[in-house]
């Protein structure tokens, strides 16, 4: 007789943790196999009304007989020290800890949980809230193949999943895809501002910019052509797009050197946060 699946323990059901949980439940994860620990009263109240889901203020309230299969660490990095203390009792070969906290290294979790704790470090992004995220992850040596597969399946509920061979690459991942949505949102803002400067009503400029960026992203997602070819497809020789691209593609002042500096700054900050 097969043993019942071990429960999923979610520490933090705010924006990212809540988005992931919604994705799991929408994909038919059994609600009675989910335990939430959420210190925020308002957020906790939102989930307490969901049928089958168990919700607690603290992990100390969970019965000693519970052995979760995966513990998802989705609290803010500055809250992690306090969140981990009551979780040490779950460390064992049957439980993997999956963190989505920026800047918190595998070594940090091994120090605060146990040296032999199974740790999966992941970096998702906010489009996960609509099932269009991408998450990169790495593991320590204590994570079994089955645990890594289970963790990847959980992450896949909210978007694409990729594995990085070295934890050293997570800071670069953070700078590109973790922080990247903010760059895209700022592109919408700046494109709308440029349209307003050209004489368009501000509301219309924002509508045009918003639809253009979102539609272009969807076209890129659905197309089998690389981004470079899609750009070429829009660009008529000597036309308006080419005139704009000559500014954006300037090797000294254009978007590429600017983006490289931006990503480098984000990567450096990620390293600083990791200590």
Query: CA 221, CA 242: separation in Å to the nearest integer?
Result: 23
| pLDDT, tens digit, 9 for 90 and up, residues 174-219 | 999 999 999 999 999 999 999 999 999 999 999 999 999 999 999 9
Reported residue count of the chain is 275
Secondary structure of residue 117 in the 3-state scheme: coil
Q: How far is CA 192 from CA 18, 186, 254, in A?
A: 31, 10, 19
253 lies in a domain? Answer: yes
Same domain, 95 and 52: yes
Q: How many CB atoms lie within 10 A of CB 123?
A: 27
The pLDDT of residue 207 is: 98
Residue 212's CATH number: 1.10.3730.10
Same domain, 92 and 39: yes
Q: Look up the pTM and report it.
A: 0.88
157 contact partners, CB below 8 Å, separation of at least 6? 20, 23, 24, 26, 27, 29, 131
1 lies in a domain? Answer: no
The pLDDT of residue 51 is: 64
The pLDDT of residue 31 is: 66
Q: How many CB atoms lie within 10 A of CB 46?
A: 14
Same domain, 154 and 216: no
The pLDDT of residue 130 is: 85
93 lies in a domain? Answer: yes
Nearest to 127 by CA among 260, 267, 221, 228: 221
Bridge partners (DSSP) of residue 98 are: 72, 120
Q: Name the phi and psi angles at 165, rounded to 5.
A: -75, -25
Exposure string for 83-117, b = 16+ CB within 10 A, e = fewer: bbeebeebbeeebbbbbbbbbbbbebbbebbeeeb
Same domain, 22 and 46: yes
Residue 36's CATH number: 3.40.50.720
The pLDDT of residue 1 is: 36
Q: Name the phi and psi angles at 245, rounded to 5.
A: -70, -25
The pLDDT of residue 4 is: 55
Q: Last residue of a domain, which of 147, 170, 193?
A: 170
Same domain, 165 and 33: yes
The number of folded domains in the chain is 2
Q: Name the phi and psi angles at 142, rounded to 5.
A: -80, -10
Vertex 246: Cα angle to 245 and 251 (nearest 5): 110
Nearest to 116 by CA among 145, 87, 96: 96
Full residue range of the structural domain in which residue 200 is found: 180-274
> Residues of the chain whose pLDDT is less than 50?
1-2
176 contact partners, CB below 8 Å, separation of at least 6? 263
Contact 10, 17 (CB under 8 A): yes
Same domain, 150 and 205: no
Q: How far apart are the first and last CA of the chain?
A: 47
The pLDDT of residue 6 is: 85
Q: Containing H/E element for 70?
A: strand 70-73
DSSP state of 231: H
């Amino acid at each position: 007789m097969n043993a019942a699946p071990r429960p999923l323990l979610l520490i933090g059901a705010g924006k990212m943790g809540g988005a992931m949980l919604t994705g799991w439940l929408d994909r038919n994860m059994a609600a009675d196999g989910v335990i939430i620990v959420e210190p925020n009263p308002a957020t906790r109240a939102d989930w307490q009304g969901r049928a089958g889901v168990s919700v607690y203020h603290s992990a100390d309230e969970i019965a000693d007989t519970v052995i979760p299969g995966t513990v998802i660490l989705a609290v803010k990095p500055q809250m992690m020290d306090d969140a981990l203390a009551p979780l040490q009792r779950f460390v064992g070969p049957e439980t993997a800890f999956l963190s989505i906290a920026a800047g918190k290294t595998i070594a940090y979790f091994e120090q605060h949980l146990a040296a032999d704790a199974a740790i999966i470090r992941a970096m998702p992004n906010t489009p996960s809230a609509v099932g269009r995220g991408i998450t990169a992850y790495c593991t320590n040596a204590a994570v079994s193949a089955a645990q890594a597969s289970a963790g990847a399946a959980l992450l896949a509920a909210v978007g694409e999943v990729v594995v990085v061979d070295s934890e050293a690459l997570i800071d670069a991942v953070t700078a590109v895809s973790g922080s990247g949505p903010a760059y895209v949102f700022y592109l919408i803002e700046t494109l709308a501002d440029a349209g307003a400067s050209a004489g368009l009503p501000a509301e219309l400029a924002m509508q045009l910019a918003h639809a253009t960026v979102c539609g272009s992203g969807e076209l890129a997602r659905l197309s089998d052509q690389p981004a470079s070819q899609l750009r070429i497809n829009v660009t008529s020789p000597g036309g308006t797009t080419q005139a704009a691209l000559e500014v954006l593609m300037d090797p000294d002042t254009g978007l590429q050197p600017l983006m490289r500096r931006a990503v480098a700054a984000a990567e450096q900050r990620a390293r600083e946060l990791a200590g």
